[in-house]
Amino acid sequence: MELIKGNEIATSIIAELKAEVATIEGRKPCLALVRVGEDPASVSYVKKKEKTAAEIDVDSRIILPPVTISQAELEALIDELNADETVDGILVQSPLPAPLDELAIFRRVSPDKDVDGFHTINLGKVAQEDSSGFVSCTPAGVMELLARSDVDLRGKHVVVLGRSLIVGKPVALLALQKKAGANGTVTICHSATTNLAQITQMADVLIAAIGRPHFVTADMVKPGAVIIDVGINRIPDATRKSGNRLVGDIDFDAVSPKVSKITPVPGGIGPMTVAMLMKNTVKARQLRATG
Ligand code: NDP
């Protein structure tokens, strides 16, 4: 079994981006990070994004509206950022607290600043295989990780667990694309799928994004399969100071001896997501420079 080291691969991508940013003349790329409320996971994700941006000389502008912000006020804030010529990318940290309408906010972000790739136009471009848009960061991270781990999906049966707009659907569309590295035969499973284990047992490449700790057990995977674990779940662990630890959707200890390649959690897809966000931000800056 080979461990796919997302941390190391993300570090190389960050180094490549740093070199690219150094060649940009004039203003450095600028990423606006909007976080509403104090959800601890969101606080830590935004911190990580800010830190990585600083590493590659991308300016970040952190905007922290109170949890009481109304939909109209948040939309007005997005409009201001859309109009601001010094902002290249806008990321609204998900999940937004209720009763804010997250999808409406994602659609409010100008498509040319939508570095999270959640706008209808950018998701549509993924379906149309138009590379001028932004691919959402976690699905893009999965594809980049596969490519840099020499996994070609051509002719492979790719099974995706989960059909969210953020992960499942776009990663399935990317795996299906008619281009080098992709060309997979894709099955998408969700909570209404019957005989799920029979389907996962047929997967040459299994991508799990359901948010259920240790959901995929050894009997559910084909020997020699490639396993990509997108899930990030916090479970109680009395041996840790924090009282908990992060695990994926895959029962890593039981599954890993049976497969050819597997991503760990943490240190797999998580760092790739941040690297792809930086890649999209640099792309947004380059497109504005030439557009
Ligand atoms: P969602 O909750 O939006 O979607 C989960 C999907 O899994 C849904 O399609 C749901 O089906 C399906 N599902 C849930 N339970 C089951 C089940 N028992 N059997 C089959 N399908 C099931 O989650 P996200 O897509 O946003 O995230 C998924 C996981 O990935 C989470 O753990 C999240 O933390 C992690 N994540 C990690 C990122 C990273 O950077 N590594 C980034 C984003 C997410 P249905 O549609 O029928 O409800």
42 contact partners, CB below 8 Å, separation of at least 6: 35, 93, 94, 95
202-238 pLDDT, tens digit per residue, is 999 999 999 999 999 999 999 999 999 999 999 999 9
What is the 164 CA–ligand 1 centroid distance (Å)? 6
Residues present in the chain in total:
291
Distance CA 288, CA 291 (A): 5
What is the 270 CA–ligand 1 centroid distance (Å)? 14
Q: Which residue has the higher pLDDT, 14 or 290?
A: 14
Q: Which CATH class is domain 25-112?
A: alpha beta
* 181 conformational bin, left if phi > 0, alpha if psi -120 to 50, beta if neither: left
Nearest residue by C-alpha to atom 40 in ligand 1: 270
Give the model's pLDDT for residue 290.
72
Q: Express the helix, strand and coil content of the chain in percent, nearest 5 each.
A: 40, 15, 40
pLDDT at residue 7 is higher than 90: yes
The domains of the chain are located at 25-112, 137-270
- Band (pLDDT 50/70/90 cuts) for residue 239 is very high
Do domains 25-112 and 137-270 share one topology? The answer is yes
116 among known catalytic residues: yes
- CATH 3.40.50.720 is held by the domain 137-270: yes
Nearest residue by C-alpha to atom 42 in ligand 1: 138
Give the model's pLDDT for residue 99.
97
Using the atom order of ligand 1, give the atom closest to the CA of residue 274.
40
What is the 16 CA–ligand 1 centroid distance (Å)? 30
Residue tagged active-site, from 88, 112, 114, 116: 116
Question: Cis ω on the peptide bond leading into residue 266 (within 30° of 0)?
Answer: yes
Give the model's pLDDT for residue 291.
62
- Band (pLDDT 50/70/90 cuts) for residue 288 is confident
163-206 pLDDT, tens digit per residue, is 999 999 999 999 999 999 999 999 999 999 999 999 999 999 99
CB atoms within 10 A of CB 129: 13
198 among known catalytic residues: no
51 among known catalytic residues: no
